[in-house]
Chains A and B, each alone.
Chain A
Amino acid sequence: ETGVTQSPTHLIKTRGQQVTLRCSSQSGHNTVSWYQQALGQGPQFIFQYYREEENGRGNFPPRFSGLQFPNYSSELNVNALELDDSALYLCASSLRGQANYGYTFGSGTRLTVV
């Protein structure tokens, strides 16, 4: 059973640029959630995808967008990067997006915006 894989592990972008982060879900999981973890903070929910559709969103602006593919992998896209977007981005996969089925987290992508 493979876990959740995220790529890249680190990247540095310039303010105003766009970035795409990728996540491969755990085998058998059909739901992917994305979280932003700023330095010294707990993870904050960005959005969740189930069967290729967004089915929940946290308090993040529209320049944060995502996709889920037929194999349940997912992308997080951030446009017009701001300095405050610097954070660890975590992907979690689950079955049906229901907490009682559990979540498996990836190791994250560390994004630095300069």
Chain B
Amino acid sequence: AQSVTQPDIHITVSEGASLELRCNYSYGATPYLFWYVQSPGQGLQLLLKYFSGDTLVQGIKGFEAEFKRSQSSFNLRKPSVHWSDAAEYFCAVAIRGGYSTLTFGKGTMLLVSP
């Protein structure tokens, strides 16, 4: 069965500093890869996704992620964090082709300090 690991439960970053959130997946083939953000009490908003092609993908709000097949990783990055980025971030995977559903990691809570 596929699984997603987000090793950091909480991360605190100073405003203006760079950010990297880690995500590793376990699956037989390269799945579709996603990053979602969830503000308190809210649903999930898609930040970016990787299906194929260029392994560096750009998303909304200045986020980007890099797919590394050799490491089964899909880490999320942002060069300069804003206080409004404080939220929970989820990495998710889905199998390719046919009916599929999302398998999520447990999430990383991002705290932004002044």
A→B interface (CB under 8 Å): 4, 33, 35, 40-45, 48, 50, 55-56, 58, 90, 92, 96-100, 102-103, 105-108, 110
Contacts and interface: CB of A to CB of B under 8 A. Distances in A.
A103 B102 contact: yes
A44 B90 CA distance: 12
A103 B101 CA distance: 9
Contacts of B32: 99-100
B96 interface: yes
Contact of B101 (A45, A100, A108): A45
Contacts of B13: none
B101 A105 contact: no
Contacts of A108: 41-43
Interface of B is mostly: loop
Interface residues of B, number: 27
Interface of B: 4, 32, 36, 41-46, 49, 51, 90, 92, 94-107
Contacts of B106: 40-42
A98 B42 contact: no
